[in-house]
């Protein structure tokens, strides 16, 4: 649906007509939030209302909410120019967002359950230098995919008159995580059973100690919610996890109720973490997590055999191979006086491509930071560490996160500090460009096996 032309002759478009139904809930959500924040006061106020007053209130509130939803939709426009995506919103206070196309690093299409039923989708944009995502909610599902393809084509340098004809870049499937494997992996995760045990044990103990129903409910509800989020919630969110390769990055599709279509931007991955819980090791399963600058994408693979995971990591970090466990150097034995027992879980290896640090004994994590993504390096040393001649090496990345190699020999830490500056400089010099569709076609690849 189009809107009138602007003063500069630009034709603007409106969102899908179902959008007012979503925005009409805003006034109702304010009342619900107040009731949840102060349930006692809300209950007292509700008891004071007569049936007639309540019906009159509903008769006023519902049309007002509907009018609010319609007006916010009517005054929301967007347009794509030669250099930017322009979004104008606001009923009382106008806001115009100018999103430079060359600064777009990811465009994700998500479909909540009700949006899937209505045939609409939400377009979310990751832009360099901003923490909050701009979004267009909602567009028709086909229109959202077409707009995503156009934005990526323009960000890649295609001419404006041909960008809308490029269409979505082709993709090659790499792997799919079967639901059975995902379910077993959650059952073998300690956090799932720990949160469930807390939800079952803590409320009865509180009841015996306080005999206060409100105290028990205030504790039990968050614990049950956490237990559900770590088990059923993760299963629903990571259901049918599929990874495919395309010129605009690795595409990730997942979700049982809410379907999400995300893209891992090329060249924007700052850190890759390989997570290996204790009960997964016999099956050689791992979880792969990401730190992407300015993006909310944080999971690459919820569960996969280690060999397959390493092959996918090679697609995200071209030219990087995961160092074998035998290559990791442990801290000196005197480090056990600083961190008893758990010192054995730490290790480090520095290759020509990455700075890799392992930490954790029961739940192992191996963090890989390409040298080109290192922003700064620091060495810290407390009084007790100075006594035992060990130090921690901190590597800061562009995603605002830090990877730490703990309990290194003090002389080794000083050498790492000196050498990492040169490795980072040469890594940035040799790094590939971060442009979208830099190759203009789908790279050669063969479909990978199922996880």
Our measurement of the distance from residue 24's CA atom to the centroid of its chain's CA atoms, rounded to an integer in Å, reads: 28
Distance CA 356, CA 321 (A): 11
Residue of higher predicted confidence among 64 and 173:
173
Mean pLDDT, residues 419-437 taken together = 74
Q: Residue 294: which of 127, 155, 433, 134 has the closest Cα?
A: 127
Tokens of 230: 């770590």
Q: What is the pLDDT of residues 226-264, one digit of tens each?
A: 888 878 889 999 999 999 998 778 899 999 999 998 888
Distance CA 378, CA 393 (A): 6
Burial of 141 (0-12, 13-18, 19+ CB in 10 A): middle
Q: What is the pLDDT of residues 87-119, one digit of tens each?
A: 888 777 788 888 888 788 778 899 988 888 889
Would you place residue 449 in the very low, low, confident or very high pLDDT band (cuts 50, 70, 90)? very low
| Residues of the chain above pLDDT 70, percent | 84
DSSP 284: T
User: CB neighbours (10 Å) of residue 332?
Assistant: 16
Would you place residue 298 in the very low, low, confident or very high pLDDT band (cuts 50, 70, 90)? confident
Residue of higher predicted confidence among 52 and 446:
52
Q: Is the predicted pLDDT of residue 322 greater than 80, yes or no?
A: yes
Q: What is the pLDDT of residues 10-62, one digit of tens each?
A: 678 888 888 877 766 666 666 676 666 666 676 676 777 777 777 787 787 77
Distance CA 401, CA 269 (A): 12
Q: What is the pLDDT of residue 443?
A: 41
Q: Are 414 and 426 in contact (CB under 8 A)?
A: no
Q: What is the pLDDT of residue 268?
A: 80
Distance CA 385, CA 342 (A): 15
Greatest CA separation found in the chain?
80
Distance CA 4, CA 20 (A): 19
Q: Residue 245: which of 441, 450, 111 has the closest Cα?
A: 441
């Amino acid at each position: 649906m189009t809107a009138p032309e602007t003063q500069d002759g630009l034709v603007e478009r409106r969102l899908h007509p179902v959008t007012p139904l979503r925005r009409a809930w805003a006034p109702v959500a304010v009342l619900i939030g107040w009731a949840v924040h102060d349930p006692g006061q809300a209950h007292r106020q509700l008891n004071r209302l007569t049936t007639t007053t309540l019906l009159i209130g509903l008769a006023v509130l519902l049309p007002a909410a509907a009018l609010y939803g319609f007006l916010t939709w009517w005054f929301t426009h967007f347009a794509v120019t030669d250099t930017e995506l322009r979004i104008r919103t606001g009923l009382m206070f106008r806001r115009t967002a100018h999103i430079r196309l060359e600064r777009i690093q990811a465009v994700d299409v998500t479909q909540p359950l009700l949006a899937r039923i209505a045939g609409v989708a939400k377009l979310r944009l990751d832009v360099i230098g901003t923490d909050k995502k701009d979004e267009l909610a909602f567009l028709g599902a086909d229109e959202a995919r077409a707009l995503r393809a156009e934005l990526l084509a323009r960000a890649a340098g295609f001419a404006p008159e041909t960008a809308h004809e490029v269409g979505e870049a082709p993709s090659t499937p790499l792997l799919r995580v079967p639901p059975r494997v995902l379910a077993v992996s959650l059952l073998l995760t300690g956090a799932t059973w720990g949160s469930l045990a807390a939800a079952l044990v803590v409320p009865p103990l509180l009841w015996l100690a306080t005999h206060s129903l409100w105290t028990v409910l205030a504790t039990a509800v968050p614990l049950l919610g956490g237990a559900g989020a770590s088990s059923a919630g993760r299963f629903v969110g990571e259901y049918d996890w599929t990874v495919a390769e395309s010129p605009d990055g690795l595409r990730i599709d997942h979700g049982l109720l809410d379907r999400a279509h995300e893209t891992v931007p090329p060249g924007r991955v700052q850190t890759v973490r390989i997570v290996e819980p204790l009960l997964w090791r016999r099956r050689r399963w791992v979880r792969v997590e990401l730190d992407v600058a300015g993006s909310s994408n944080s999971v690459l693979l919820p569960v996969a055999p280690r060999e397959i995971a390493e092959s996918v990591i090679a697609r995200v970090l071209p030219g990087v191979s995961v160092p074998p466990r035998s290559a990791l150097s442990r801290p000196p034995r005197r480090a056990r006086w600083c961190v008893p027992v758990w010192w054995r879980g730490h290790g480090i290896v520095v290759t020509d491509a990455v700075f890799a640090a392992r930490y954790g004994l029961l739940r192992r994590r191996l963090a890989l930071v390409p040298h080109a993504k290192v922003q700064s390096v620091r060495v810290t040393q407390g009084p007790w560490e100075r006594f035992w001649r060990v130090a921690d090496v901190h590597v800061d990345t562009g995603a605002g996160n830090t990877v730490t190699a703990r309990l290194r020999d003090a002389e080794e830490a000083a050498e790492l500090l000196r050498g990492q500056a040169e490795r980072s400089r040469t890594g940035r010099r040799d790094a590939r460009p971060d442009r979208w569709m830099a190759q203009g076609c789908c790279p050669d690849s063969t479909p990978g096996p199922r996880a």
